[in-house]
Structures are given as C-alpha cells and as structure tokens.
Amino acid sequence: KETVTIKHNSDTTDVPKNPKKVVVFNFGMLDTLDKLGLSDRVVGLPKQTLPSYLKKYKDSKYESVGGLKEPDFEKIAELDPDLIIIEGRQSE
C-alpha cells in the first residue's frame, strides 16, 4: 500500500493513500470530504452533536462512534478504518 506522510502538531503519521474507510470526529473535515465527493468513504462519526447542515450523515449507513469527548473505541475497532480524523482537542 502506498502511504503519505502527514506532519501534525505531535509528530508525523504515515497514512494510506486514498483511504477507503474513514472515521471522522471533525465536522469541518466531514464537510470538506462531503464537498469533495468523498462521503462514500465515511463509515463512522459522532452523530449526537451533528450540525444540521450535515444531517444526511444521520443515515444508518454511517455508524455512530460515540461522542467527541467519549469515543466508542470498540465500535471504531469493529469498523477497522484506514484513517481516523480527530480534532486537536481530542489528541490525548
């Protein structure tokens, strides 16, 4: 698999190029993925606090992966995503 190295505040991370399954905890990134036509790659997100403009993601084809402050780690592991996108305040 090809990877891309992403530099972030904590270090760097090798991420699969063109990930097929993505869990998203950042609604700005979810909106960006949506606008880029990549919503089919989203498999999970925190549905409890979903903004109204992203209401289509309440559909049952997207799994609920807990809340922004309390992720459901078991559900995330079950989904086996290629990429998990979090917000900076979730870094711990």
Residue pair 67/49 in contact (Cβ under 8 Å)? The answer is: yes
In angstroms, rounded to a whole number, what is the distance separating the alpha carbons of residues 34 and 45? Answer: 13
pLDDT at 8: 82
- 3-state SS, residue 91: coil
- 3-state SS, residue 2: coil
pLDDT at 90: 58
> What is the reported pTM?
0.87
In angstroms, rounded to a whole number, what is the distance separating the alpha carbons of residues 84 and 82? Answer: 7
Q: Which domains does the chain have, with CATH numbers?
A: 19-90 (3.40.50.1980)
89: confidence class by pLDDT, cuts 50, 70, 90: low
| Residue-wise pLDDT tens digits, 32-88 | 999 999 999 999 999 988 999 999 999 999 999 998 888 999 999 999 999 999 876
Residue pair 72/64 in contact (Cβ under 8 Å)? The answer is: yes
